Structure 1
Amino acid sequence: MSRDHDDWVLSSLLDDLARLALSRDQITVSELIDTLGARGFGPLLVMLSAFLILPVGMVPGIPAVSAVFMILIGGRMLTGEARLWVPARLGRVKLTGHLLAVSVARAQPAILWLRPLLAPRLAFLIDSMVMRSVLAVILMVTGAVIFVAGFIPGLPFVLSLHVLVLGMALATRDGLVALIGYCMLLPEILLIWRVFL
């Protein structure tokens, strides 16, 4: 995979989301998924986790919807599927175009800053069947925790951080970034342990 292609995957995702956000007042989840096209699960994970970090994540129901998507993506990865299937009811969930546009605008500087740091390397940490299965399980467990306990202030934000990093690693085949994402799990697990036990 060429570096130009990596840049295109991440930057064009935000460009397309910005165009969608400015095109209408209300946007459905299905329209968001269609906008992602065939880019794969990496950019979708980046978008989902960014939603929990950016203003969209403050909208009631968005953490739960994002959690369900993480579970669905993990399940599809376990079965070897490359495209996401969305239940019709979930696909009809709406958010405002203005809120999406604001979130995209806030995300763009971070993506531009990160772009030179992302490159295909140590691909076995993200590409191998074993690591794909590990990533799938991580996503499903993370989604389940957010769905059950997402009402706790700040918890969806914290749990979205490793998903954001792993999504960028998956989108760019960057195993080093994936390793960072795996390492981020330990402090998050300790936090959850302290909160619930």
Structure 2
Amino acid sequence: MLHPDDKAAPMCTESAPSHDNLMRLLDRIEAETGDGAVSVREVLAILGPRAFTPMLLVPSLVLVSPASAIPGVPSLLSALVGLVALQMLLGHDRIWLPRVLLDRALDADRFARVLRALRGPVAWIDPLINERLTWLTDKPGNIPALAICATVSFFMPLIEFVPFLTSILAGAIALFATGMFARDGLLVLVGYGLVSGGVVLVTGAVQAVAG
């Protein structure tokens, strides 16, 4: 249960970026990870222990990519998103992760495939991002989104029985994380729309069972 060494953890700025910001984030992670296994500890060291929004964003994007089909990856990603979102809610000044998560790793080839899977969606969404409706992306406006991210992530394994619900809620989390990272409140609003769709699905499933 250790924090990465501050001296070995370059700080990642959380300021609002240019239109290629998401792609540059992927480039940075790819450039600074070495051969062999790539652990959560190493990714956190690259981003920096105070880079909350990037550390919320990266697993959120992977969660909605084809890489989420890798066995064990969805559970790891959900735990990361939930813990980071909860610490953002509580106002922590640095990221804490338990050793069992910090030591989880993918081999370098598989990790490279994960990053490649993200590049297509990221290249599409990067030009659409703008700094707008920032009251939805900063506290206190982002508290509902963070609460949804934390709650959904911790209960993700329990909602898989509803068709499509996991994908919808994972998409909402990715939109919340991207919106907060880029300070684009429009993406946060779209995320709330997806959550509303998820509520409709759950209501329909409950009614179908009750009927």
Listed as ranges, the matches of 1:156-167 within 5 Å are 156-167=166-177
1:11 to 13, 18, 23: 23
SS at match of 1:81: coil
Could you tell me which residue of structure 1 aligns to residue 135 of structure 2?
A: 124
Q: Which residue pairs with 2:105 in the alignment?
A: 94
**1:56-91: CA deviation from partner (whole Å, max 9, x where unpaired):** 312222211112112211221122124321111211
What is the percent sequence identity of the aligned residues?
25
Is the contact made by 2:129 and 2:184 (CA closer than 8 Å) also made in structure 1? yes
Unaligned runs of 5+ in 1: none
Contact 1:50 1:164 in 2 (8 A): yes
- Residue 40 of structure 1: CA displacement? 3.0
User: Is 1:70 the equivalent of 2:107?
Assistant: no
TM-score of the pair, normalised by structure 1:
0.84
Which of the numbers 112, 115, 126 marks the counterpart of 1:115?
Answer: 126
C-alpha offsets along residues 14-60 of structure 1, whole Å, 9 cap, x if unaligned? 00222355x21311111122222267333323311222233431222
Instruction: Give the unaligned 5+ runs of structure 2.
Output: 1-13
What does residue 8 of structure 2 align with? Answer: none
Deviations 1:108-166 (A, max 9, x none): 1322222221111111111131x232122101111122144458886543321011111
Alignment of 1:134-145 (within 5 A): 134-145=144-155
Indicate if the aligned counterparts of 1:67 and 1:143 stay in contact, CA closer than 8 A: yes
Distance 2:40 2:24 in 1: 19
Contact preservation (8 Å) 1:44, 1:167: no
Q: SS in structure 2 opposite 1:24?
A: coil
Q: RCO (CA 8 Å, sep 6+): is it higher in 1 or 2?
A: 1
State the aligned residue count.
Answer: 194
The alignment yields a C-alpha RMSD, in angstroms, of 2.6
Work out whether residues 162 and 205 of structure 2, in 8 Å CA contact, stay in contact via their aligned partners in 1.
Answer: no
Q: Does 1:32 align with 2:43?
A: yes
Distance change in 2, residues 1:48/1:193 (3 Å): farther
Secondary structure in structure 1 of the residue aligned to 2:38: strand
Structure with a larger share of its residues in helix:
1
CA distance in 2: counterparts of 1:195 and 1:29, whole angstroms:
36
Secondary structure of 1:128's counterpart equals coil
Is this contact kept in 2: 1:40–1:82, CA < 8 A? no
